[in-house]
């Protein structure tokens, strides 16, 4: 993140723009997004970057990207292309946690069952240690009770809904949320981190952990999950190894186009 007040795509490094487009493609390749879902990256204390209203796997160039304000989730440019209605998930998370650098919203069908079940999602294999011992579930119905006039379509379409969701990540710890992953009842989940690549990793391994936990539950008996210290120390896994592989996977797949990639 730059300390400059970045307001235009032209002010963003080509490296970050290319990486962002790759992230959209990688998330689709691994089943975290389809025509829906989105990821963002913070550009400065006051702005962040997202794609325009389009399917993430189709994001291909700077023409598909929009700069938004953290303050209210609105586009910086008055003539910006249409954006996602749930961009407030991102703006309010950045507002609440100043050190958060990237936010993902996924509708992963592997994860959704844990948002509507009494069985909590818990870290049960070492690649998902970042889940810790608690993964909160945010229920939008709590907000509807306070604001009954809201359209009850389960979407986070304004700052009040976004703020309520952001608070479910818990108190800020050194500028980061206590709980990096929050499930949304009957909807999906939100992943956060201090870098774009790590947010992608957390999204992928949250879904994989859900698969593992579901499979283990189906075997019967008790599922043994990671202890607090195990989760904390395995959660330090970096992205140095998987990121180049994930980039190669999408660069060699004809469905994805990245006009900023050297392979394009």
Residue 61 near residue 79, CB atoms below 8 Å:
no
Residue 152, domain CATH: 3.40.225.10
Considering the domain boundaries, does residue 1 fall inside one? no
Whether 22 maps to a domain, the answer reads: yes
Residue 257 lies in a domain: no
Residue 246 covered by a domain: yes
Mean pLDDT of the residues in the chain: 96
Domain count, the chain: 1
Q: Is 107 part of a structural domain of the chain?
A: yes
pLDDT above 80 (res 264): no
User: The domain containing residue 194 runs over which residues?
Assistant: 9-251
Decide if 50 is inside a domain.
yes
Work out the pLDDT band at 236, boundaries 50, 70, 90.
Answer: confident
Rounded distance between C-alpha atoms, residue 192 and residue 93, angstroms: 9
Nearest CA to 203 among 18, 11, 38?
Answer: 38
Q: Give me the long-range contacts of 242-245 (CB less than 8 A, separation at least 24).
A: 242/201, 243/197, 243/200, 243/201
Helix (H) / strand (E) containing 114 = helix 112-115
Please give the backbone phi and psi of residue 40, each rounded to the nearest 5 degrees, phi first: -135, 165
Known active-site residue 249? no
**40 falls within a domain:** yes
Rounded to two decimals, what is the model's pTM?
0.97
What DSSP state is assigned to residue 118?
S
Of 35, 48, 130, the C-alpha closest to 89 is 48
Q: Which residue has the higher pLDDT, 236 or 154?
A: 154
State the pLDDT at residue 262. Answer: 80
Of the pLDDT bands very low, low, confident and very high (cuts 50, 70, 90), residue 101 is very high
Residue-level pLDDT at 4: 77
Where are the alpha helices (H) located in 159-241, listed in sequence order?
159-167, 196-218, 228-234
| Alpha-carbon gap, residue 74 to 162, rounded angstroms | 13
Between 242-251 and 14-29, two packed helices, what is the crossing angle to 10 degrees? Answer: 80
**Which pLDDT tens digit goes with each residue over 143-195?**
999 999 999 999 999 999 999 999 999 999 999 999 999 999 999 999 999 99
Identify the active-site residue in 74, 86, 197, 233: 86
CA 187 to chain centroid: 13
Pairing of strands 181-184, 137-138: parallel
Residue 48 domain flag? yes
Rg of the chain (C-alpha set): 18
């Amino acid at each position: 993140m730059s300390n400059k007040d970045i307001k235009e795509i032209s002010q963003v490094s080509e490296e970050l723009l290319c990486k962002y487009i790759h992230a959209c493609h990688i998330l689709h390749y691994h089943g975290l997004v389809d025509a829906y879902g989105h990821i963002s990256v913070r550009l400065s204390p006051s702005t962040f970057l997202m794609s325009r209203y389009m399917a993430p796997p189709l994001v291909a160039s700077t023409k598909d990207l929009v700069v938004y304000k953290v303050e209210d989730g609105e586009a910086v440019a008055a003539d910006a292309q249409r954006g996602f209605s749930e961009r407030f998930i991102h703006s309010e998370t950045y507002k609440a946690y100043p050190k958060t650098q990237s936010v993902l919203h996924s509708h992963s069908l592997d994860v959704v069952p844990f948002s509507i079940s009494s069985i909590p999602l818990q870290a049960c294999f070492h690649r998902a240690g970042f889940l810790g011992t608690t993964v909160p579930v945010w229920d939008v119905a709590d907000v509807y009770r306070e604001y009954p006039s809201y359209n009850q379509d389960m979407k986070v379409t304004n700052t009040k809904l976004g703020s309520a969701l952001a608070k479910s990540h818990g108190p800020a710890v050194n500028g980061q949320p206590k709980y990096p992953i929050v499930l949304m009842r009957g909807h999906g989940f939100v992943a956060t981190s201090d870098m774009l690549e790590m947010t992608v990793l957390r999204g992928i391994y949250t879904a994989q952990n859900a698969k593992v936990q579901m499979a283990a539950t189906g075997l019967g008996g008790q599922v043994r999950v990671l202890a607090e210290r195990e989760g904390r120390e395995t959660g330090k896994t970096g992205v140095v190894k998987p990121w180049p592989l994930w980039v190669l996977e999408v660069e060699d797949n004809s469905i994805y186009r990245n006009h900023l990639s050297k392979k394009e």
